Amino acid sequence: MIRHFCKLSFVSAVLWALTVSAQQSSFSVGTATATSGQQATGYIEVPAGVDAATSIPVVVVRGSKPGPVLALVSGAHGTEYASVIALEKLIPQLDPAQISGTVIILPLVNVQSFLQKVPHVNPVDGKSMNRFYPGKQDGTQTERASFLITKQVVERSDYLIDYHGGDLDENLRPYSYWPKTGNEKQDAVTRDMVLAFGLDHIIIASDRPKDANASRYLDNTANTRGKPAIAVEAGYSGIVQTQDVQALVSGTLNVMRYFKMLPGTATMVEHPVWIGKIDTISSDQTGFFYPLVDRGTYVEQGMKVGYVTDYFGNTTFEARAPAAGVVLYICGVPSMKKGDTVANIGEVVKNP
Ligand SMILES: [Zn+2]
């Protein structure tokens, strides 16, 4: 009886040791530290410099099994609400017991944009929080935040997804970006990431800076550091639609299945619409803007997509599509300043 008990306890000790060795050590980002099988919240504290300090909320989900580190970042533009809400909705759906690897979530990078309802920029320094990567330790708030996100999130991740959408003034249809860097191995992974994410319109972005020290965009900061990353967009005009939020949440879970971070098989978009070139139509007049097409409309070359009047109602500018394609987004408000974007038209190309 005693011998039998000893044998059993030896077996369970071995099993216990195997289980422990398969677990992961703790992982910290900012003030959030999660041990294996745990989820933790905290902040990346951006100290004061030439302007005010800020705190960027962060969640670390440390899976109970080993695997890659995936970073999910939203709210660089704090009024692209659907993308921010999508990551909020995702947080309770990530069960550490089910996950192999680690997920870092930054649901709202640009807190002041969100609170003050200021589109496009960080109202503290007037800079877009997706144009100043890899950031500067002694720069303005956007640059200091970008510097810490590069160090604490990008450099410690294996993969990254950056979430955007139509801002308060942008009537946008959902799409993702496939960053084509020329590095075949990495491009194959990011191609699978956009196909697994599931948005059926994909922009081929081959014009991103190659210099890691002047990477500008967050996804490009990861890609120039050898970490496959994509950007995705859904939502528009300050509206939070369930279907946009759901597309971003289910796309993320499917990418996690693709990376074997979640059980199950990833489904891939089979026949997406590939966009090879974006034509930006800018207004050459200041005044009132009237759209004539909706987001997602397919237009022919020369088709009128909207017009601008002066403050007295006289038409001063007709916006026409320079080429055939799909309206990726069109200005969603009457305010129009000379030089502002009226619409982005995506030119469709064959499967690249
Ligand atoms: Zn954005």
Beta bridge partners of 315: 309
**Ligand 1 centroid to 192 CA: how many Å?**
22
Ligand 1 centroid to residue 113 C-alpha, Å: 11
Query: Looking at residue 56, what is its pLDDT?
Result: 98
User: Count of CB atoms within 10 A of residue 323's CB?
Assistant: 14
**What's the gap in Å between 93 CA and the centre of ligand 1?**
24
Name, in order, each residue with C-beta under 8 angstroms of 64's C-beta and a sequence gap of 6 or more.
Answer: 23, 24, 36, 37, 96, 97, 99
pLDDT at 11: 53
Ranges in the chain, pLDDT < 50: 1-6, 8
Burial annotation 267-303 (CB, 10 A radius, 16+ → b, else e): eebeebbbbeeebebebebbbbbebebebbbebeeeb
Nearest-CA neighbor of 290 among 269, 304, 274?
304
Q: What pLDDT is stored for residue 1 in this prediction?
A: 44
Q: How far is the CA of 282 from the centre of ligand 1 (A)?
A: 19
76 Cα to the center of ligand 1, angstroms: 6
Nearest by Cα to 258 from 345, 194, 209, 215: 194
Ligand 1: centre distance to CA 311 (Å): 30
What is the C-alpha separation between 51 and 231, in angstroms, rounded? 29
In the block, residue with structure tokens 């597309």: 247
Q: Residue 81 Cα, ligand 1 centroid: separation in angstroms?
A: 10
Quickly tell me which residue has 């997602």 as its tokens. 296
Is the alpha carbon torsion for 35, 36, 42, 43 positive or negative?
positive
Alpha-carbon span 201 to 296, nearest angstrom: 10
* pLDDT tens column, 156-187: 999 999 999 999 999 999 999 999 999 999 99
Q: Are 109 and 145 in contact (CB under 8 A)?
A: yes
Q: How far is the CA of 304 from the centre of ligand 1 (A)?
A: 26
| Closest CA relative to residue 80, chosen from 202, 240, 203, 249 | 240
Q: Mapping DSSP to helix (H, G, I), strand (E, B) and coil, where does residue 191 land?
A: helix
State CA 130 to chain mean position distance: 10
Distance 231 CA to ligand 1 centre (A): 9
For tokens 């703790």, the residue is 26
Query: What is the CA(68)–ligand 1 centre distance, in A?
Result: 26
Between the CA of 23 and the centroid of ligand 1 the distance, in Å, is 36
277 pairs with which residues across the strands?
347
The string of DSSP codes covering 54-85 is: EEEEEEEEE-SEEEEEEEEEE-SSTT-HHHHH
Q: Let me know: does 112 contact 122? Beta carbons within 8 Å.
A: yes
Q: What is the pLDDT of residue 351?
A: 85
Structure token digits, residue 247: 């597309």
Q: How far apart are alpha carbons 235 and 84 in whole angstroms?
A: 10
| pLDDT for res 6 | 47
Please state the pTM of the whole predicted model: 0.94
Q: Compute, in angstroms, the gap from residue 89 CA to the centroid of ligand 1.
A: 19
- Return the pLDDT at 282: 98
**Would you give the end-to-end CA distance of the chain in angstroms?**
69
At 162, which helix (H) or strand (E)? strand 159-164
Looking at residue 250, its amino acid is S
The confidence score (pLDDT) of residue 13 equals 54
